[in-house]
Amino acid sequence: MLEGLLAGLSTAFSVTNILIVIAGCLVGTFIGMLPGLGPMSIIAIMIPIAITIGDPSTALILLAGVYYGAVFGGSTSSILINAPGVASTVATSFDGYPLARKGQAGKALTVAAIASFAGGTIGAILLMIFAPALASVALLFHSAEYFALMVVGLSAIAAFAGTGQVCKALLMTFLGLIMATVGEGVLFNAPRFTMGVMDLQSGFGFITLAMAMFALPEAIYLVLDPNRSKTGDGDSGEITNLRITRDEAKRIAPVIGRQSLQGFFIGVLPGAGATIASFLGYAVERNIASKEEQEQFGKGSVKGVAAPESANNAAATGSFVPLLTLGIPGSGTTAILLGALIALNVSPGPRLMIDEPEIFWAVIISMYLGNLVLLVLNLPLIPYIAKVLSVPRNYLIPFILFFTLMGAYIGQNNATELLLLVGFGVCATLLRFADYPLAPLLIGFILGPLLENNFSRAMQLYDGMAFVWERPMTLALLTLALILIVLPSYRRRRARLRAAGVADGD
Amino acid sequence: MALDRWIAIVILVVCIAYGYTAFFTMDELLPPIMRRSPIWPSSFPKVLAVGGIVLSLAIIFGIEKAAGAGQNDIDVTRLGQYKFGQALMLLGLMVAYALLLRPLGFLASTFAFLFLGSFLLGERRLLLMATVSAIAAGFIWYLVNEVLGIFLSPLPLFLN
C-alpha cells in the first residue's frame, strides 16, 4: 500500500498533473456556475479531451478536478443568485442566498469553500482507508458475484428513485441495458440489433448518450422556459468581505466534522449520492441545533451553509469507493467516469489497486489537491468568475448547444453521431417531461456489457443457472437486490426527501 | 391519459419488437456449435425484453401508486408560456449543423450555427453577434486542432 501511495504521490505531483488539476478545477467552477450545466454534462463534454490526453491517470485527474470544480461552481451560483447549477447544491441556497441578501455573500462563499474543502479532504482520507479494504474483499469475487453485485447496484439506484418512481427507474435501467446490447459484443463476435445500419456496428457512443441524456435536455429547458436562466430574484451585490469570525469558525467546525462523515457513507451507497447527502445533512443539523440557532436556519445561518456543503463534497468523494474498488458506479457522474475509464483501457475494480496502483492513488491524491486548489485559488477569484453569470442567454444557449454537439463529434468524428444526439436528446427531454429519471438509463447502458459478460461467464462455468443457488454470496446479493426493490420503507423515506425538494441526479 | 403512460406504451412497443427479434429471428443464424453453449447471444436480450415488457405494462396500468403531484421540472399550468417554436428551430439548426459540418467545413458551419442560434433567440445586434461567432469559431478550431491535436477540416469540401 505504501509503495502505491508513493507512486501515486509522484504521479500526482508532477508539474503537468498539478497544472491539470488547477485547470480542471477552474474550468469546472466556471461551467458549473452556469445555469443548467451540471457536473454530468461538464464531464461528458470534457471526456473527448481527457481521452486525447491518453494517459489514464492524467485524464482521470482532469475529470475529477472538473467534477469538484463543478460542484463548487454550483454552490457559488446557489449562494449568489439563488439559482443552483447542480442538484446537490440546492440545499446550500436555503441559507446561502439569505446571507447574500444581507450583504454577506463573501462570508457565505468562504464558509462554503471551507466546508467543501474539509468535506472533500475527510472524504479522501476515508476513501484511503476503506477502498483498499473493500477491494481486498472484492478480490474474492467471481463472475457470478460480480453479476449479482451489479444487479444490487442497479436495484439500489432504482430503489432510491422515490415513491411512484421505482417502476419508472427500473424501466429506464432496462432500456439502458437494451440499448447496450446494440452492436457487436465482446463475447459473441456478431452484430446484434443493428437493423442493418453500418454506423451502429460498434453500438451507440456513450458520450453521445450522456450528452443527449443530460446536457441537451437542460439546454432545451433553458430555451423553453426563459425564467429558468434568470438570475434569481435579485442581485446580491458586491462580494466584498471574504472573512469569517473566530466564533463562526467554532460553530461550524463540529457541523463540518459530522456531515463529512455522514456524507461520505451516504455517498458510498449506490444510488444515494451527493444530492441526498446534502439534504439529509441540512435536515440533521437543523434538528440537532439549539433552539435559537434553529430559528436562524433558512434566514442565513452559517451552519446551514456548512452542513450541505461538507456533506455533498464528502459524498462526491464517497461515490468513488464503489467505482474504484468494484467498478460499479453509484451515480450518473461516476457512471460517466466509468465510461471514460473503459474508453481509456482501464478497468476499474479490485484489480486496479494491484495492477495499476499509481492510477488509483494518483486520483485520490489529486482529489486532495483539487480541494486545496478550490480553497486557495478559486475562492479569491470568485468575484471575477461570477461575471460569467451576467452573460446574456441569447449568447449562452447557442454555445451550450454547440459544446454538446462538439462533445459528441470529437469523440467519434462521425456526423451520424450528431443526428443520434439530437434524436436521443428529444426523447430524453420527453422522458423528463414525464418525470422519468434518466441517470438509471445511462448507468444501465454503461454497466450493460459488463453485466452480460459476467452473467455469460458464470453461465458457462456452471453450465446453466446453477451458480445462483450454488454460490451463497451470489444468492445473498440477489436476495438483497430483491429486497431493495420490494422494501417500501425506502420509498417512504425518499418521499419525505422528495417533498423537501430533492431533484434527480447529482 | 398522462404523458408518462403514453411514453410507457411507446417503450412497450419497442420492447415487443426487440423481444420478437430476440426470441424468433436471432437464433436462426446461430452456428450449430454455438447451440450447445448454455448461453446464446439472444439469452440476455430475451431476459431484458421480458423485463421491459412487464415494467412498461406495470406503468401503463398504474400498479405502483404515484406520490401525488411529483416534483416535476415542468409546470403544466405554464405550458402555454413555453417557447416550443424556438426550441424546435434550434433543434432544426442542430440537425442542419450535423448535415453541413462536413460539406461546409468547421469554420463556416460553426460561425453560421452560433450566429443563427443567437438570432433565433431574439438577438438583433448583428455586428456583435458576427464578431462573437467569428472569434469563437476560430478560437475553438485552433484549440481543438492545434492544442488537442484532433483534426477538424476547417474549410468547405471544394476548397480542400
Q: Rounding to the nearest 10 degrees, give the CA dihedral for residues A385, A387, A388, A392.
A: 180
CB contacts, 8 Å: B114 with chain A: 398-399, 402
The greatest distance separating any two alpha carbons of chain B, rounded to the nearest whole angstrom, comes to 70
Please indicate, yes or no, whether residues B89 and B130 belong to a single structural domain of this protein: yes
B113's enclosing H/E stretch is helix B106-120
- Number of structural domains (chain B) is 2
CA atoms of B150 and A47, how far apart (whole Å):
13
Question: Smallest CA–CA separation between A5 and chain B, in Å?
Answer: 30
Q: Cell numbers 409546470 correspond to what residue?
A: B75
Q: Is the pLDDT of residue A134 over 80?
A: yes
**If you measure CA to CA, which chain A residue comes closest to B89?**
A223
For chain B positions 102-131, those within 8 Å of chain A (CB to CB) are 102, 110, 113-114, 117-118, 121-123
CA atoms of A389 and A81, how far apart (whole Å):
9
- At residue A192, the 3 state secondary structure works out as strand
CA atoms of A61 and A17, how far apart (whole Å):
7
DSSP B145: I
C-alpha cell at A32: 458549473
> What is the structure's pLDDT at B18?
93
ipTM score for this prediction: 0.88
Please indicate, yes or no, whether residues B95 and B121 belong to a single structural domain of this protein: yes
C-alpha cell at A382: 470568485
Q: Where are the alpha helices (DSSP H) in A374-436?
A: 379-385, 393-412, 415-433
Expressed as residue numbers, the domain containing B108 is: 84-159
Which residues touch A318 (CB under 8 Å, ≥6 apart)? A123, A126, A127, A263, A264, A265, A266, A267, A268
Please indicate, yes or no, whether residues B42 and B98 belong to a single structural domain of this protein: no
Question: Smallest CA–CA separation between B14 and chain A, in Å?
Answer: 9
Cβ distance A52 to B58 less than 8 Å, yes or no, reads: no
Please indicate, yes or no, whether residues B88 and B155 belong to a single structural domain of this protein: yes
Which residue, among A70, A203, A153, has the nearest Cα to A440 in the 3D structure?
Answer: A153
CB contacts, 8 Å: A461 with chain B: none
In a domain, B96, yes or no: yes
State the burial class of residue A37 (Cβ atoms within 10 Å of its Cβ: 0-12, 13-18, 19+).
buried
Please indicate, yes or no, whether residues B122 and B150 belong to a single structural domain of this protein: yes
Question: Smallest CA–CA separation between B81 and chain A, in Å?
Answer: 8
> What is the structure's pLDDT at A272?
66
Choosing from B36, B66, B96, the residue where a domain stops is B66
Cβ distance A433 to B101 less than 8 Å, yes or no, reads: no
C-alpha cell at B14: 419497442
Contact A113, A378 (CB under 8 A): yes
Please indicate, yes or no, whether residues B46 and B111 belong to a single structural domain of this protein: no
CB contacts, 8 Å: A447 with chain B: none
Contact A370, A21 (CB under 8 A): yes
Please indicate, yes or no, whether residues B89 and B154 belong to a single structural domain of this protein: yes
Per-residue pLDDT 10s for chain B (160 aa) are 678 889 999 999 999 999 999 898 888 877 787 777 888 888 889 999 999 999 999 888 877 765 544 445 555 566 667 788 888 999 999 999 999 988 888 899 999 999 999 999 888 889 999 999 999 999 988 888 877 777 777 877 777 6
Cβ distance B41 to A463 less than 8 Å, yes or no, reads: no
The rounded mean pLDDT for chain A is 82
Cβ distance A181 to B44 less than 8 Å, yes or no, reads: yes
Question: Smallest CA–CA separation between A184 and chain B, in Å?
Answer: 10
CA atoms of A152 and A367, how far apart (whole Å):
27
Strand partners, A209: none
pLDDT digits (tens, 9 = 90+) for A470-492: 888 899 999 988 888 877 555 55
CB pairs under 8 A between A and B: 183
Which residues touch B58 (CB under 8 Å, ≥6 apart)? A167, B64
Question: Smallest CA–CA separation between B137 and chain A, in Å?
Answer: 10
Contact B123, B131 (CB under 8 A): no
C-alpha cell at A222: 433553458
A184's enclosing H/E stretch is strand A183-184
DSSP A34: S
Which of B29, B47, B71 is the best substitution to test chain A (most A C-beta atoms within 10 A)? B71
pLDDT digits (tens, 9 = 90+) for A377-399: 777 887 777 777 777 878 888 88
Residue B89: Cβ within 10 Å count = 17
pLDDT digits (tens, 9 = 90+) for A217-243: 888 888 887 766 554 444 545 666 777
In a domain, B78, yes or no: no
- At residue A294, the 3 state secondary structure works out as helix
**If you measure CA to CA, which chain A residue comes closest to B88?**
A220
Which residues touch A337 (CB under 8 Å, ≥6 apart)? A43, A60, A63, A64, A67, A323, A329
CB contacts, 8 Å: A164 with chain B: 64-67, 70
Question: Smallest CA–CA separation between B94 and chain A, in Å?
Answer: 7
Range with the poorest average pLDDT among A76-80, A162-166, B56-60: A162-166
- At residue A183, the 3 state secondary structure works out as strand
Contact A312, A89 (CB under 8 A): yes
B101's enclosing H/E stretch is helix B84-104
CA atoms of A498 and A161, how far apart (whole Å):
9
Question: Smallest CA–CA separation between A178 and chain B, in Å?
Answer: 6
In a domain, B79, yes or no: no
pLDDT digits (tens, 9 = 90+) for A12-65: 788 888 898 888 988 888 888 876 677 777 887 788 788 888 788 888 888 888
Query: Domain ranges in chain A?
Result: 2-228+251-499
Is A157 or A480 the better-scoring residue by pLDDT?
A480
Cβ distance B90 to A463 less than 8 Å, yes or no, reads: no
Q: Cell numbers 468562504 correspond to what residue?
A: A110
Cβ distance A394 to B121 less than 8 Å, yes or no, reads: yes
DSSP A156: H
Contact A122, A267 (CB under 8 A): no
In a domain, B73, yes or no: no
C-alpha cell at A128: 484511503
> What is the structure's pLDDT at B77?
60
Cβ distance A501 to B71 less than 8 Å, yes or no, reads: yes
CB contacts, 8 Å: B61 with chain A: none
In a domain, B22, yes or no: yes
Cβ distance B15 to A397 less than 8 Å, yes or no, reads: no
pLDDT band for position A362 (50/70/90)? confident
Which residue, among A85, A86, A84, has the nearest Cα to A95 in the 3D structure?
Answer: A84
C-alpha cell at B102: 462536413
Q: Cell numbers 444515494 correspond to what residue?
A: A272
CA atoms of A343 and A330, how far apart (whole Å):
19
Which residue, among A21, A17, A16, A45, has the nearest Cα to A31 in the 3D structure?
Answer: A45
Which residues touch B109 (CB under 8 Å, ≥6 apart)? B97, B100, B101
C-alpha cell at B76: 403544466
In a domain, B26, yes or no: yes
pLDDT band for position A504 (50/70/90)? very low
CA atoms of A261 and A265, how far apart (whole Å):
7
